[in-house]
Amino acid sequence: MAEATPVIEIRNLHKAYGPLEVIKGVDITAHKGDVVSLIGSSGSGKSTILRCANLLEDSQQGDILFKGEPVTWRGTGLNRHPADAKQVLRIRTNLSMVFQQFNLWAHLTILQNVMEAPLTVLGRDRAEVEKSARGYLDKVGIGDKADVYPAQLSGGQQQRAAIARALCMEPEALLFDEPTSALDPELEQEVVRVIKDLAREGRTMMIVTHDMKMAGDVSDHVIFLHQGLIEEEGTPDTLFGQPKSERLRQFLSSTMAA
């Protein structure tokens, strides 16, 4: 049964920068329709895991599987790299990433930004891509901004454009790396609303976030990372309502008080 195969599966992941090991053996699974949030203090390894899953960073040990297909590697340890460039492109195309900084092309309109990757990477038909792009801009609430440039938008609008750009690739899953942390609180809520809508649609997502309320509202599963290891994980109700570890209790009390 195809649905039993996770969209993303990470097994015993290790990641180091030279002698500094930042991920020390982590297992994460996201099935179709799952929303998995990664929380933890700055430096706990959350964003690094996301970047390893999307093959933006090379990991030194462990397996990364996309829809049951393992990434193939050559070399070992710090010399380990993906062996198949076509596989990397296919996986990255299907795991669209939304970054903390919006990474929009300043010289392209919002519509052109959203259309760029489906046209150049996937080679799709221009008319079909434009129709799709306009639909996604409407979906995130900025359809009227299609012909303006990024500098003319607020941060919240730029981040929603970045989400539309990710959606236009028609990915199997969305990876969000602190999607609201660069935004003022009122602009943050615009983006949170879009992410909640995507969760209600049953999209597969992995979200690194500092926003505990959003993690609680949208997630099926929350993972608390501490110093490169999973300290505790479970449903939002369990993790936020009945934390078992002292580290998680301290983290939640400092985060909720902030």
DSSP assignment string, 136-196: HHHHTT-GGGTTS-GGGS-HHHHHHHHHHHHHHT--SEEEEESTTTTS-HHHHHHHHHHHH
CB 156 within 8 A of CB 190: yes
User: Which contacts (CB < 8 Å, 24+ apart) does range 66-75 have?
Assistant: 66/7, 66/8, 66/91, 66/94, 66/95, 66/172, 67/5, 67/6, 67/7, 67/94, 67/172, 68/5, 68/6, 68/9
- Of 16-25, 152-161, 169-178, 184-193, least confident by mean pLDDT is 184-193
Digit-coded pLDDT (tens) for 170-201? 999 999 999 998 888 888 889 999 999 999 99
* Residue where the block lists tokens 């046209």: 119
The 10s digit of each residue's pLDDT in 31-75 is 999 999 999 998 899 999 999 999 999 999 999 999 999 999 999
78 has pLDDT over 60: yes
Q: Which domains does the chain have, with CATH numbers?
A: 2-257 (3.40.50.300)
**pLDDT number for residue 2:** 43
- What is the C-alpha separation between 245 and 237, in angstroms, rounded? 15
pLDDT at 258 over 70: no
Q: Could you tell me the two tokens for 47?
A: 């964003």
- Mean pLDDT, the chain, rounded, equals 93
The tokens describing 135, both together, are: 């639909």
Q: Residue 15 contacts by C-beta under 8 Å, 6 or more apart in sequence? A: 21, 22, 23, 45, 48, 49, 52, 57, 59, 60
Please tell me the predicted confidence (pLDDT) of residue 3.
Answer: 60
Tens digit of each residue's pLDDT (9 = 90 or more) over 113-128: 999 999 999 999 999 9
- The confidence band for 102, taking pLDDT boundaries of 50, 70 and 90, is confident
Structure tokens at 111: 């519509």
What's the pLDDT score for residue 28?
97
pTM: 0.93
- pLDDT by residue (tens digit) across 196-247? 999 999 999 999 999 999 999 999 999 999 999 999 999 999 999 999 999 9
Burial class of residue 17 (count of CB atoms within 10 Å of its CB; 0-12, 13-18, 19+) = exposed
